[in-house]
Structure 1
Amino acid sequence: MNIPSKPASIDVEIHGNFIDGREVEAGGGEMLDVRNPATGDVIARIPNSTAADIDRAMKSARAAFEGKAWGGMDTRARARLVNRLADAFEANLDALYRLETLNNGRPVNETRAQLSRLPDFFRYFAGVALSRRDYVIPVEGAYLNYTLRTPIGIVANCTPFNHPLMILCKSLAVVLATGCVTVVKPSEYTPLTTLKLAQIFTEAGLPPGVFNIVLGLGQSAGKMLAEHGDIDKLVLTGGTEAGRIAGSAAAKVFAHQTMELGGKTPVMVFDDFDVDRAVNYAAFGAFIGAGQTCVCASRHIVQASIYDEFVEKLNAKTRAIRIGDPFDPNTQLGPVISARQRDRVLSYARYGHEDGARLVTGGVAARIAGHENGYFVEPTVFADVRSDMRIFQEEVFGPFTSVTPFKDEADALRLANDSPFGLAAAIRTRDVARAHRVAAAVKAGIVWINDHHRLDPASPWGGVDDSGIGRECGTESFDAHFNTKSVMVATHEQPFDWYRDTASQRRLN
């Protein structure tokens, strides 16, 4: 698909699954519309894959994993190939970020900034692969004990609509660097850049069958993939309930799992921190990606002495955000992904009113000239929010945040931890001791001190409780893509016959 800077009209393209190094027709299931969320226009049609389609992709992946072209490739050759894929990604950045802007509606400046980081994920894991060491373990007696690690096999990966390429690449980079293979089920809303990347990587030399894509609905194609008997690991980013369903299915085949699920990020703002700076971080954390991130700054917990000033300045900052055409470089906030998601966000505005919170700004659909059928929502702030309110407890997944006052550090932590989620948290303070104390006490897998939404391929990423299990990125993710084999070698020449000398034996193990 050739994507101009600002598409005037787009031909509706028909796509198939990507299996064994090429796009192939699906096996006769229904076709699904893919829409541009800024206009509501259909830009592509994709299949809702059948069980036969899933089987075909799995067989291709298994053949690649066991074949010489990929399975027989040595570590250094594989690392060189992964670095070459990073170069190919970088060479195609312009087409990729424009296609992603078209497909998921993020402003082009946001999309460019995010996608430009992604080649580093492949380069990082290529480096980890080259530096990998297995262990020699000191054991009692005349024995040599060492470990061997073998790639885990087929990784089934279900990716979401909010960061289609970024979340894919967090998994794909480590899959390729470890010698695993993958079958990816992208969101039915945003499959286009995933298909494009598979084409780019194949042209850059990735063997067929290593990176396969099956398209379709999460509740059908995604479910069939997660419960397929031949998967060795499930990676899923999505809602908590989807994680429970997919995780239960994968557990039946004893597949390893890494899941990043829902979030309700608390941001604790102490009164020793500059209010203007806190407000700038608040707007970034709450409204980047139209708030459609699991780490969205959705609960601002602000010390009472600066609470009124914070709310007033956040109101002014939010009202100044420019909503509009994602391809306009001046646009700062694009649409949410779908009409369904727009209506969900607006329903939480109603809940806020019903539960007694104070609407500061937003809470309605935004009307954008020339984009009347787009799924735009005004960035929304509610104040005076109590911890028992739905907008404090439940994930909204849109440009929506709440503000709650607190008295002291203990009160801030009580409010922050009053949630079933534990993905990310943020702290705003100039007190170094307090920053580390609160970071240790808050329930979260990721904590930002005086920042927000930062990640690095070397830094582990994941949550606790209803926010999921396992970690992406870092050596934690790399190690989780191997099976570990322990090898015990007797280095002595002592004769052994248990059944002749049973009475004289002093130990069994």
Structure 2
Amino acid sequence: MSTSKTEIKAVKRDLYDMIIGGQSVGGSEGEYFVAYNPATGEPLAKVAKATKADADRAVEAARIAFETGKWKRSPVNKRSRTMNKIASIMRSRFNELVELEILNSGKSLSAAQGQVMQAIEDFEFYAGAIVSHRGAVNPMPGPFMNYTLKEPLGVCAQIIPWNYPMMMAAWKIAPAIAVGCSVILKPASLTPLTAIVMTEICHEAGVPEGVVNIITGDGATVGSYLAEHEGVDKVAFTGETGTGKDIMAKASQTLKRVTLELGGKSPNLVFDDSDIDAAVDGSLFGIFYNTGQSCEARSRLYVQESVYEAFMEKFVEKAKRLVLGNPLDSGTHVGAIISERQLEVIDSYVKSAEAEGATIALGGGRAKVDGFENGHWYLPTIITDVNEDMKVVKEEIFGPVVVVSTFKDEKEAVKLANNTDFGLAAAIWTKDHAKATRVAGMIQAGTIMINSPFSAFPGTPFGGYKQSGFGRELCIETLDLYTETKSVVSYTGSRPLNPFNL
């Protein structure tokens, strides 16, 4: 496949500060940390390092903005117009945002383009969704009327991961501000740059000062602190399951609302009556898209015994043709690993599989990419001859690694799919619609993909079962997670009520 480098002007700068109360500010202790380019391993920019004092400042700014009510009491149509303006500005700067996302995350051009576009569409979706998000009038016996109001929850701390920096920022910010909440966004320390720029765009579009704040720094320090902060009404977290449990425990001390989108070990079921070529192509995308650094990556591949050999021959052959290279080249399929530390984690999983007797059918080590020798690269890896007790089958690897097993029949396929602590997503490949519907109903996962590798679109609920978390994002129902429902009961009779007959 030929490649051509896309010429785009970057929004990159050397220094990025936080934004608190509408103002660009450094950390209270004047410290900065370095954000790196994963593809090259080189420093990219300096970013302000927040302290607990900065978190306090951000909560205060958000609280003032919420309590004064300029945003939450603004007409819905005005909020909707502002949301659309955010999207419009992002569209006008699309290429800049894509390049910055690539530089800070190491992801491929096609992946970054798709994710930045979805971030834009998230704001557009919620600009429309908020117009019809309202309470209801409920029937009551006698001369009474009941109606409900949807009121913004308050100040929301939002903590996002490094694998989808701009898209996750949009998933969090858009529904929260659509209903009138104020937010403090805490992006991952590895990838804060596009989230900072998105916050700047929110202000450029007319979001009042203090409604969207962003603090950058160590999650174990400021992220954890926000989870227990008395001035925060809700925590929305996307990330690793263990961290999610810790956040939930801290938030419970003040009975904060919590939304958690956590880890996954998603199954991919290929039945013998599927379109094998489509299943191969979809399965490749399901695990190697975004370099496998996706919570819903289909990292457990189960193929029906009768088509296993035919499937694997094509699957391995096409995996060999995946291109690792310059993330800015349109022909690159697989980008860099986010950090050297994550690369070592991935490699340790692969080595553990070898030690337990598995077979490395493809890959299984660091990749060498011309011109990017100091970057963090790992070969697309396929592991066979595994069993359900192996570490690589049970635990989330978060890299371009898939484990492959077989199943005999539908009953065993469902059993294997559900044999996990997680329940974020699953894929089913079959031409039998009745079977697909039946199996989808039995799999314990929040998102089921049938004959498609795509899992998330604006308007479709995304979230998990079991230890993959709770709450749904990306959909109309998300608005309810950022609102309180107030019930108002009104007496409409002509005579005063006298319940005690006094």
Q: TM-score, normalised by structure 1?
A: 0.94
- Quick check: 237-246 or 307-316, which moved more? 307-316
CA RMSD of aligned residues (A): 1.9
- Size of the aligned set, in residue pairs, is 498
Partner of 2:484: 483
The answer on whether the counterparts of 2:291 and 2:336 sit within 8 Å (CA) in structure 1 is yes
Query: How far 1:63 moved relative to its partner?
Result: 1.5
Partner of 1:355: 356
Instruction: Give deviations 1:166-201, integer Å, cap 9, x for gaps.
Output: 111112111121111110000000000011111122
Query: How far 1:16 moved relative to its partner?
Result: 2.1
Partner of 2:262: 261
The answer on whether the counterparts of 1:12 and 1:42 sit within 8 Å (CA) in structure 2 is no
Partner of 1:132: 133
Instruction: Give deviations 1:39-67, integer Å, cap 9, x for gaps.
Output: 11111122331111001111111111123
The amino acid that maps onto 2:476 is T
Query: How far 1:9 moved relative to its partner?
Result: 12
The amino acid that maps onto 2:22 is G
- Mapped pair 1:173 → 2:174: yes
Pairing 1:361-380 to 2, within 5 Å after superposition: 361-380=362-381
Does the residue aligned with 2:70 lie in a helix, a strand or coil? Answer: helix
Q: In the superposition, relative to structure 1, how do residues 367 and 9 fare at CA in structure 2: closer, same or farther (>3 Å)?
A: farther
Instruction: Give deviations 1:427-483, integer Å, cap 9, x for gaps.
Output: 000011100000000010100000113322111110011100101021210122111
Query: How far 1:214 moved relative to its partner?
Result: 0.5
The answer on whether the counterparts of 1:10 and 1:43 sit within 8 Å (CA) in structure 2 is no
The answer on whether the counterparts of 2:115 and 2:166 sit within 8 Å (CA) in structure 1 is no
The answer on whether the counterparts of 1:108 and 1:326 sit within 8 Å (CA) in structure 2 is yes
Tell me how far apart the structure 2 counterparts of residues 189 and 6 of structure 1 sit (CA, whole Å).
Answer: 25
Does the residue aligned with 2:71 lie in a helix, a strand or coil? Answer: helix
Q: In the superposition, relative to structure 1, how do residues 422 and 166 fare at CA in structure 2: closer, same or farther (>3 Å)?
A: same
Does the residue aligned with 1:79 lie in a helix, a strand or coil? Answer: helix
The amino acid that maps onto 1:120 is E
Tell me how far apart the structure 1 counterparts of residues 24 and 463 of structure 2 sit (CA, whole Å).
Answer: 32
Tell me how far apart the structure 1 counterparts of residues 10 and 137 of structure 2 sit (CA, whole Å).
Answer: 61
Partner of 1:464: 465
The answer on whether the counterparts of 1:31 and 1:45 sit within 8 Å (CA) in structure 2 is yes
Pairing 1:300-339 to 2, within 5 Å after superposition: 300-339=301-340
Does the residue aligned with 1:202 lie in a helix, a strand or coil? Answer: helix
The answer on whether the counterparts of 1:311 and 1:403 sit within 8 Å (CA) in structure 2 is no
The answer on whether the counterparts of 1:22 and 1:199 sit within 8 Å (CA) in structure 2 is no
The answer on whether the counterparts of 1:460 and 1:472 sit within 8 Å (CA) in structure 2 is yes
Partner of 2:107: 106
Q: In the superposition, relative to structure 1, how do residues 467 and 361 fare at CA in structure 2: closer, same or farther (>3 Å)?
A: same
Partner of 1:504: none
Q: In the superposition, relative to structure 1, how do residues 11 and 64 fare at CA in structure 2: closer, same or farther (>3 Å)?
A: closer
Pairing 1:405-484 to 2, within 5 Å after superposition: 405-484=406-485
Tell me how far apart the structure 1 counterparts of residues 60 and 272 of structure 2 sit (CA, whole Å).
Answer: 58
Tell me how far apart the structure 1 counterparts of residues 297 and 196 of structure 2 sit (CA, whole Å).
Answer: 27
**Mind listing any 5+ residue stretches in structure 1 that lack a counterpart?**
502-509
Instruction: Give deviations 1:238-269, integer Å, cap 9, x for gaps.
Output: 00001001111112111111111000010110
Tell me how far apart the structure 2 counterparts of residues 251 and 209 of structure 1 sit (CA, whole Å).
Answer: 25
Query: How far 1:33 moved relative to its partner?
Result: 1.6
Does the residue aligned with 1:230 lie in a helix, a strand or coil? Answer: coil
Partner of 1:231: 232
Does the residue aligned with 1:476 lie in a helix, a strand or coil? Answer: helix
Query: How far 1:369 moved relative to its partner?
Result: 1.8
Q: TM-score, normalised by structure 2?
A: 0.96
Q: In the superposition, relative to structure 1, how do residues 488 and 7 fare at CA in structure 2: closer, same or farther (>3 Å)?
A: closer
- Quick check: 61-70 or 213-222, which moved more? 61-70
Q: In the superposition, relative to structure 1, how do residues 297 and 12 fare at CA in structure 2: closer, same or farther (>3 Å)?
A: same
Tell me how far apart the structure 2 counterparts of residues 50 and 5 of structure 1 sit (CA, whole Å).
Answer: 39
The amino acid that maps onto 1:437 is R
Partner of 2:287: 286
Tell me how far apart the structure 2 counterparts of residues 122 and 9 of structure 1 sit (CA, whole Å).
Answer: 22
The amino acid that maps onto 1:72 is R
The answer on whether the counterparts of 1:125 and 1:177 sit within 8 Å (CA) in structure 2 is yes
The amino acid that maps onto 2:28 is G
Q: In the superposition, relative to structure 1, how do residues 11 and 194 fare at CA in structure 2: closer, same or farther (>3 Å)?
A: closer
- Mapped pair 1:154 → 2:148: no
Does the residue aligned with 1:317 lie in a helix, a strand or coil? Answer: helix
**Mind listing any 5+ residue stretches in structure 2 that lack a counterpart?**
none
Q: In the superposition, relative to structure 1, how do residues 122 and 7 fare at CA in structure 2: closer, same or farther (>3 Å)?
A: closer
The answer on whether the counterparts of 2:175 and 2:479 sit within 8 Å (CA) in structure 1 is yes
The amino acid that maps onto 1:351 is S
The answer on whether the counterparts of 1:384 and 1:403 sit within 8 Å (CA) in structure 2 is yes
The amino acid that maps onto 1:182 is V
Does the residue aligned with 2:118 lie in a helix, a strand or coil? Answer: coil
Instruction: Give deviations 1:114-157, integer Å, cap 9, x for gaps.
Output: 21232221121111111223111112222111111111111111
- Quick check: 118-127 or 207-216, which moved more? 118-127
Tell me how far apart the structure 1 counterparts of residues 491 and 203 of structure 2 sit (CA, whole Å).
Answer: 46
Tell me how far apart the structure 2 counterparts of residues 143 and 350 of structure 1 sit (CA, whole Å).
Answer: 69
Partner of 1:84: 85
Q: In the superposition, relative to structure 1, how do residues 12 and 197 fare at CA in structure 2: closer, same or farther (>3 Å)?
A: closer
Partner of 1:402: 403
Tell me how far apart the structure 2 counterparts of residues 46 and 293 of structure 1 sit (CA, whole Å).
Answer: 25
The answer on whether the counterparts of 1:178 and 1:481 sit within 8 Å (CA) in structure 2 is yes
Tell me how far apart the structure 1 counterparts of residues 128 and 60 of structure 2 sit (CA, whole Å).
Answer: 30
Tell me how far apart the structure 2 counterparts of residues 267 and 71 of structure 1 sit (CA, whole Å).
Answer: 43
Between the aligned residues of both structures, percent identity stands at 39
Partner of 1:219: 220
